[in-house]
Amino acid sequence: MNQNKSNTFLREFVSQAMRDYFEKIDGYPIDKVYNLVIGEVEKPLIEETIKYCNRNQTKASELLGISRGTLRKKMKQYNIK
């Protein structure tokens, strides 16, 4: 899958997930949706990337586009071993 198609696939997935979320809350008061989404997405993003890279933090940080130090900080924050 080329990068453009991959980006479009992920964007469409997130759009659909957000539409579903807003539909399911059905008027329930919410706020700080950005923080909610980032908080829910960041941990599994890091966990799955680490698995995909066979626990190689250097490869995972490159794939994520963050420094290895930032990756290690996030792993500690989320208790990812």
Do 42 and 25 lie in one domain? The reply is no
Do 42 and 72 lie in one domain? The reply is yes
* pTM for the predicted model, two decimal places: 0.75
Do 54 and 25 lie in one domain? The reply is no
Residues 6+ apart with CB under 8 A from 71: 46, 57, 60, 61, 64
Domain count, the chain: 2
Of 35 and 5, the one with more pLDDT: 35
Do 74 and 48 lie in one domain? The reply is yes
Domain that holds residue 13: 1-30
pLDDT score for 1 = 64
Do 44 and 25 lie in one domain? The reply is no
The half-sphere exposure of 43 on its side-chain side, counting CA atoms within 13 A, is: 11
Tell me the pLDDT tens digit for each residue of 19-68. 999 999 988 888 999 999 998 999 999 999 999 999 999 999 999 999 99
Do 43 and 76 lie in one domain? The reply is yes
pLDDT at 7 over 90: no
